[in-house]
Structures are given as structure tokens and as C-alpha cells.
Amino acid sequence: MRTQLDTLVTGALQQGSAVPAFTCYDFTTALAVVGAAEESGRGAILLVAPKTAATPNGLRLIAALRGLADAASVPIAVQLDHATDPQVIADAVSAGADSVLVDGSSLPYEDNIDLVRNVRAALAGQGRGDVVIEAELGGLAGDEDRAFGTDAADNAGSTVADAPAGLTDSAQVEDFVARTGAQLLAVAVGNVHGKYKGEPRLRWDVLQDIAVRTRIPLVLHGASGIPAEELVKAAAMNVGKVNFNTELRTGVLAVLEEQTTAHRADGENLQALLGLWNASARTFAATALATLSR
């Protein structure tokens, strides 16, 4: 069913839970996520990568996800992830995205604020002041679509002069939230996109510092590879949305690698192979939902 992303996340936090968000490059994965959410009776978020949304087929995928979300028996939001291009944002919203991560985290602080404000004004001009905006403060290392071993310190775009590379500067949080009007805040606390080089070392002290400075829900990107016993702590620090991508891909690709030959031999049985893709993504989504729910 249609839902406002901030309402979904705030409601979950009130129950001590967080809402998982999953990158969907395709409809099979989205069906799996929605299936898992319906089975668990909880809401979830379908993320669309900006490279996907920048193509005509990607906009058709957003429209299809919109239809899937509206017909679901649980609240499902469709979010354009990590967007900077105003045209891609406008097109994705027209196609059916109901929220956007306006990601100016690689920009200087004032430019990050300007980007979020400009997108908000442009959406209002488009008659879409209802679109929920997540903003990001502090830069995350790693690639959003291709996973290589990354360390939080690999991020060159640090905005904090005297802090380890890329960490969100908690001293900026109040000002940033007030001036951007963001409804959710993505933070950099040692998390990275893709695979962690070695063990993830989340800075819970920094997260705690951020959490006391704003009432809006926080968002943890780069959740793949963070152990469940760490993720369960997130909601207590006002992290209401947790983004997954790499681990879901790892599972699906392993299934395809293992099963393709047998399914070719079985009469080019793509239908059954897609069923296994769905099952892998669905199991992953179900586990994430269970981990983050109280």
C-alpha cells in the first residue's frame, strides 16, 4: 500500500524497529522484497539506483515498482537513491518515486545544503511538495553498484577537517537539518558501500553524538557485511532505515552461478532459474526484516 517513507520509518522507530531498504535493479528482486515484507507483515523500502533511474527503462522500472508498492498488503515506499541530478530526480518522481535521497555529501557543506534546498524548491514547483527528502552529511566510501573491498578511510571526500575521513561531523547536524528541511538524515559512521576491507568498525560513539542532536530519523547505508548483532542496536540510536544492496547481489549471483548449467540443460529453463533468484532475494529480505524488527 502507498505510504510516506518518513511515516513508515517513524512508526517503526516508535516500536523500536528499523525499516530495511533494498536496491532493486529489476522486477524479480522487487517481487521478492515485497513478498518477504508481506509475509512478515512489515513495511519495506524499494531503492532505485540513480544509474538505473537515468535511463528510459529505469523510469519504466520505477513505474512498475510503484504499481507493485501500491498493490502490496503492507506499506512499501519507492525511493530514488543517491541522486544529485535535478532532471533525474524530476523524472524519477514523475515515474512514481515517492522519496529521494538528495546526496550532496561529496560537495562542500554549503553546496550540500543548497542542493537539497534547490531540489525541494524544484519539486514544489513540480507540484510535488509531498516527496520525502533524505539528505546525507559525511561521505561514504565505496561504489554503490559495484562492490570492492573498501575501508571507511578510503573516502577522499571528507567534509570534516579534524575527523577520520568521511565521518559525519555531529556539530553540523542541527544546522544541516534545520536549513535543508530534510526528513531523514543519512550518516557516515564508519559504514561503507560494497564490501568491507576487514571487519566493519562502526563508530557507535559518533552515531550517539548525532542522535542526540536531531529528532529526524537517521539512515545507515552500506549495511551489507555489518553483523546482525550490530544492526539490532541501530534503532535504539534513532536509525530508522537501513540500506542493503551488495549482500543481496552476492546471494543472487551465487545461485545463478551454481544453477545456470543445470537449468540450461533442463530445456533452457529460465522460469525456474528466476524462481531461484526470487527465493534467494526473498530469504535475504526476510532475514533483514527479522533482524531489524522488535
Smaller CB distance to ligand 13P: residue 233 or 264? 233
Per CB under 6 A, the list member of 223, 231, 235, 237 interacting with ligand 13P is: 223
Name the amino acid, one letter, at 98.
D
Per CB under 6 A, the list member of 23, 29, 158, 238 interacting with ligand 13P is: 23
Per CB under 6 A, the list member of 17, 79, 224, 280 interacting with ligand 13P is: 224
Give the pairing of strands 184-187 and 132-137: parallel
> Is 145 one of the annotated active-site residues of the chain?
no
The contact mask relative to ligand 13P for 235-264 (x = CB under 6 A, - = no) is: --------xxxxx-----------------
Per CB under 6 A, the list member of 139, 190, 222, 240 interacting with ligand 13P is: 222
Q: Which three-class secondary structure state does DSSP give residue 82? A: strand
Per CB under 6 A, the list member of 66, 117, 193, 282 interacting with ligand 13P is: 193
87-146 residues near ligand 13P, rule: CB under 6 A? 144
Own/partner pairs for 99-102, CB < 8 Å, 24+ apart? 99/4, 99/5, 99/6, 99/131, 99/132, 99/133, 99/134, 100/131, 100/132, 100/133, 100/134, 101/133, 101/134, 101/135, 101/136, 101/186, 101/219, 102/133, 102/134, 102/135, 102/136, 102/182
Give the pairing of strands 44-48 and 76-83: parallel
52-71 residues near ligand 13P, rule: CB under 6 A? none
The residues that touch ligand 13P, with contacts defined as CB under 6 A, are 23, 47, 81, 144, 193-194, 221-224, 243-247
